[in-house]
Chains A and B, each alone.
Chain A
Amino acid sequence: MNKSLRIKFFLILGVVLVCLYGVIGLPRNKAELIANWQNNIHLGLDLRGGTYLVIQVQQQDAFNAEAGAVADRLKDAARKAQVQFADVDVEEAKTLESANNVAVVAKGVPAAQAGTFRGIVSEQFSQWLLKPVNQTDYRLTMKPTEALTLWQQTLAQTKNTIDKKINALGLTEATVQQRREDKDSELLVQMPGVDDPARVKQIIQTAAVLELYDVKGGPFASRDEALSQNGGVLPLGTKLIGAPTAGADQNSRGGGVYLVTRTPVVRGPDIRDAKPQNGDLPNTWDTGFVLSQDASRRFGAYTGSHVGQRLAIVLDGKVLSAPTIQNQINDQGRITGAPSQQDAMDLALNLKAGSLPASVRYEQENTVGPSLGADSIRQGFVAGIAGVLAVIVAMLIYYKRSGINATLALVLNALILIACLSYFGAVLTLPGIAGIILTIGMAVDSNVLIFERIREELHAGKAVIPAVDAGFSKALLTIIDTHVTTVVSCAILFLFGSGPVKGFAVTLVIGLVANVFTAVFVSRFIFDWELSRPKPVTALSI
């Protein structure tokens, strides 16, 4: 072997070793080999079983809520400044697309007080643009930069909350991510090993906003009764909250409507911890919660000064109970009457994770059971073996000894491809396996192009070494042209495709790039090595 051949040999050997290490590591026995293989090759959800959900965040909810809060604050501010108005209302956004168009409308502001009103808005509501509709009415819309911030905040907060919720379920491998760069309200949740997503979906959707209110009156039989008992108008700074009639038990959870303060003493995000616990009666479950430091200070002060009065425990806008405060409570409380341990657990989980800033819609749900995944792996494996064997046999028959050369190149091609998947941390999906198998079929094209060229040159009467030379150099340009077209179509598939299809594009592209190395460089080396033997070669087995 001459020097340049020796360098090439060690280069190829190096590549083989690096690839082998990437795929199976340094195993000492069979068990380690299998374990390393499983660690290095990440299987997609379609092969290992699991669920993915595509979730659309209903951004308009966050915008409507923000506008609602602004409307309330604007009313208060106007009252404080003694600006008169007929009404302040929210023009709600109905769809996701129109979320930005949410508006707060103030009606009946006297022309004489217009200046004061404008002053309030520009001072306290600088994120909003004020536009007069006519002499007395005004429309406030959100400034575009503010809208963008709120949009992104809502998405990020939803993502975090969902992440917290599914992690709390013990799904440690689950991930939440934005589905695509250009889809700024869609999230993709991937949960390996989950074959029935019903509970996860339920938990994600449950808001579980816990609020504790100061009770000012009630329970009344209905809203109308509550109003009439208060002279037709609600006292300043109060609102009505209903209680569900179903599942009523002690502690006045017998339906009805309560009159409570407008702002709660404590609300959702103030909760530090929550867990299920045994109820007072056997076989009953409660959900205990602990307040955050800041909230417990407020709550302690409030309960200390309101002993003997009632406190409304409100979950998702419904009064669960309105017990009387017996003594000062600092940071602990519990919600009684969960139907089962799991319900108590789920409620605790939701209390801790907090609520989503906007509701969600499930756009797509895909569940692959473990048995289908296992079958797919087996079928992919069988198809791969069958395909590769067919190619190898055909090459050996058609090109005789040179077929061995092509076979070595193909095997190395497949090895490099799998090693790349391992090094890049790419995920192997069923279409990805198809990509590998197809790569084998397509990769052989380069060898065929070269071998056919060599044959042609031999037919034309060239000696072996010049024929091999000419065969490789003439086929090279064609090989590059053909590879570029397939790589271009796969790159497009990768950029715009989604899910498992991406896995297919990745394997095909890696396979084809590796193919240039194996078919042109490695295959050439094998020919050169064969031809470099001292005995002059007069015929080539091709």
Chain B
Amino acid sequence: MEIFKRTNFDFLGRKWPFILLSLLLTVAGLISLWMKGGPKYGIDFTGGALMDVNFIKRPPAESIRAALRHKITGEIEVQEIGNTQEVLISTGARDDNALQVVRGDMISTLNTAFNPGQAGQAAGKFDINLTSQSALADRLREPLTRGGVMLSDDQLQAITKAITNFRDTPPRSGLISSLDDLAGVPGVTAPFLKVLKDECFAGNFAIRSVETVGPRIGADLRQQAINVVLIALGAMLVYIAFRFEWKYGVAAVIAVFHDTIITIGLFSLLNKQIDLTVIAALLTLVGYSMNDTIVTFDRIRENLRLHVRGTFPSIVNLSINQTLSRTVLTSGLTFLTALSLFLFGGQVLNGFSLALVIGIIIGTYSSIFIASPILVFWHNVAAGKAGQTKATAVEVRPAGTGKGAKTAKTVK
């Protein structure tokens, strides 16, 4: 199967609509960034707390926020995660001391608000959805002996381990809706279950992850992320300048910079957070988009060495056409893998895979419509300076001479 059979699209001739589109996207992104006062950073960059809570039946975001507002000062954001019962609760930057207690405060507030009327809670029972294995074992040890269930400590540890494992494996995702569900767990006998029911209850939510970041380390990580992206771009520029010529390097780096800006802009438009994993995705995109541009540039260089007939712009256009099939296929396949990450990779990787999905499209398009026109533009300016007209570019030479064939051999 072949999608593109020896195409001859005039990419450079139709560059303006695409350049305008790029400008439009860039400006829209920049305006959004400006209106929102910069990118929306994740808590690893701003400092703050982030808690992932899984409910048996998720209450409305507004009621969660209202419940938390009593106890926790400052901005509270509650974000529902797709087609799950999970929410992400985040609070803004706060000082170190406040961060130490925010976790406990959040859990106790959620407990009062969303475990109401739980017979167990008032009676001082233990929430099985909020406990660790060792705490559960400690809690049950004495009541079990009283209840006549004789177990060695190893047995007790094994059974509680089996219970927490049961709770934590998909599809339960950390939540047991009723203690009766535990009847099937190995080691849980009827008398054991009775003691368990006397001592524990199944609360309405579980804490899946908690992250707190102090403001100082947040600022530190942010600075580091910016440095990393800039160093990466610089290193690329140097490498391409070394392998090709400066004009290629500059064109490629401008294109990659364009991708990064547009991706960050789109994140701002979509109101998505930029965290460490998104930065990792951006860097991958830097490498990827550069990779895409290099394939085209390699072909341009090869065609120039082979003394293909035509002006510089027409050679560039020819090279884009020659590599088009590869560009589309590779991007398409990489896009498919990024898309599968976005669709199935879960909440933790959501921002990361979204950045990849957006970036791969932008990166592919920029190698054709941004990097190549810049290269041609630069070339024309240089040629103009050298006192030559655009029509007779330096590379126009008769093709197929013996000398040319020889050079071609040394190239590979």
For B137, the chain A residues whose CB sits under 8 A away are none
Give chain A interface residues in 335-371, CB to chain B under 8 Å.
361-371
What is the CA–CA distance of A368 and B347 in the complex, to the nearest angstrom?
Answer: 13
Cβ-defined contact, B287 with A490, below 8 A:
yes
Cβ-defined contact, A489 with B333, below 8 A:
no
**Assuming the A-B contacts A371-B54, A434-B352, are A490 and B283 also in contact, with contact meaning beta carbons closer than 8 angstroms in the complex?**
yes
For B276, the chain A residues whose CB sits under 8 A away are 497-501
For B352, the chain A residues whose CB sits under 8 A away are 431, 434
**Assuming the A-B contacts A375-B170, A440-B337, are A368 and B332 also in contact, with contact meaning beta carbons closer than 8 angstroms in the complex?**
no
* Interface SS of A by simple majority: helix
Which of the candidate stretches B209-217, B261-269, B376-384 sits at the interface with the other chain? B209-217
- Interface size counted on chain A using CB atoms at 8 A: 82
Closest to B212 in A: A365
For B206, the chain A residues whose CB sits under 8 A away are 369, 371
In the complex, B16 has a CB within 8 A of chain A: no
Closest to A170 in B: B134
What is the CA–CA distance of A437 and B356 in the complex, to the nearest angstrom?
Answer: 12
Which of the candidate stretches B115-123, B195-203, B323-331, B388-396 sits at the interface with the other chain? B323-331
Which of the candidate stretches A282-290, A320-328, A384-392, A515-523 sits at the interface with the other chain? A384-392
For A489, the chain B residues whose CB sits under 8 A away are 232, 235-236, 283-284, 286-287, 290
A497 to nearest B CB, angstroms? 7
Per-position contact with B for A426-461: 1 when CB-CB < 8 Å, else 0?
Answer: 000011001001101110110011001001100100
Interface residue from B167, B224, B295 paired with A478 (Cβ < 8 Å): B295
What is the CA–CA distance of A364 and B276 in the complex, to the nearest angstrom?
Answer: 14
B117 to nearest A CB, angstroms? 25
Cβ-defined contact, B345 with A434, below 8 A:
yes
In the complex, B190 has a CB within 8 A of chain A: no
Which of the candidate stretches A61-69, A110-118, A479-487 sits at the interface with the other chain? A479-487
Cβ-defined contact, B100 with A369, below 8 A:
no
Cβ-defined contact, A362 with B100, below 8 A:
yes
A517 to nearest B CB, angstroms? 18
In the complex, B204 has a CB within 8 A of chain A: no
A16 to nearest B CB, angstroms? 23
Interface residue from A361, A362, A375 paired with B346 (Cβ < 8 Å): A375
Cβ-defined contact, B232 with A430, below 8 A:
no
Cβ-defined contact, B353 with A434, below 8 A:
yes
In the complex, B36 has a CB within 8 A of chain A: no
Per-position contact with A for B166-183: 1 when CB-CB < 8 Å, else 0?
Answer: 011110111100000000
Cβ-defined contact, B294 with A488, below 8 A:
no
Cβ-defined contact, A452 with B356, below 8 A:
no
In the complex, A372 has a CB within 8 A of chain B: yes
For B211, the chain A residues whose CB sits under 8 A away are 364-367
Residue of A198, A382, A481, A487 most packed against chain B (CB within 10 A):
A481
A5 to nearest B CB, angstroms? 23
* Interface SS of B by simple majority: helix
Interface residue from B227, B287, B329 paired with A398 (Cβ < 8 Å): B329
What is the CA–CA distance of A454 and B52 in the complex, to the nearest angstrom?
Answer: 51
What is the CA–CA distance of A456 and B207 in the complex, to the nearest angstrom?
Answer: 57
For B132, the chain A residues whose CB sits under 8 A away are 195-196
Closest to B280 in A: A501
Cβ-defined contact, B173 with A371, below 8 A:
yes
Cβ-defined contact, A387 with B99, below 8 A:
no
In the complex, B338 has a CB within 8 A of chain A: yes
For A482, the chain B residues whose CB sits under 8 A away are 290-291, 294-295
Cβ-defined contact, A431 with B170, below 8 A:
no
In the complex, B111 has a CB within 8 A of chain A: no
What are 20 A-B contacts with C-beta separation under 8 Å? A363-B214, A367-B211, A369-B208, A370-B164, A371-B206, A372-B348, A375-B346, A384-B340, A386-B344, A388-B337, A390-B337, A430-B348, A431-B277, A442-B334, A444-B330, A448-B333, A449-B330, A452-B325, A485-B291, A488-B287
Given A366-B210, A485-B290, A501-B279, 19 more A-B residue pairs with CB atoms under 8 Å apart are A54-B217, A198-B104, A364-B213, A369-B206, A371-B54, A372-B209, A375-B173, A376-B346, A386-B343, A387-B341, A445-B334, A449-B330, A474-B412, A477-B298, A488-B287, A489-B235, A497-B228, A497-B280, A499-B276
- Point out residues on B near A: beta carbons under 8 Å: 1-2, 6, 52, 54, 96, 99-100, 103-104, 132, 164-165, 167-170, 172-175, 206-214, 216-217, 221, 224, 227-228, 231-232, 235-236, 239-240, 243, 276-277, 279-280, 283-284, 286-288, 290-291, 294-295, 298-299, 302, 322-323, 325-326, 329-330, 332-341, 343-346, 348-349, 352-353, 356, 411-412
- Point out residues on A near B: beta carbons under 8 Å: 46, 49, 54, 56, 195-196, 198, 201, 361-372, 374-376, 378-380, 382-384, 386-388, 390-391, 394-395, 397-400, 430-431, 434, 437-438, 440-442, 444-445, 448-449, 452, 455-456, 459, 473-474, 476-478, 481-490, 492-493, 496-501, 504-505, 508
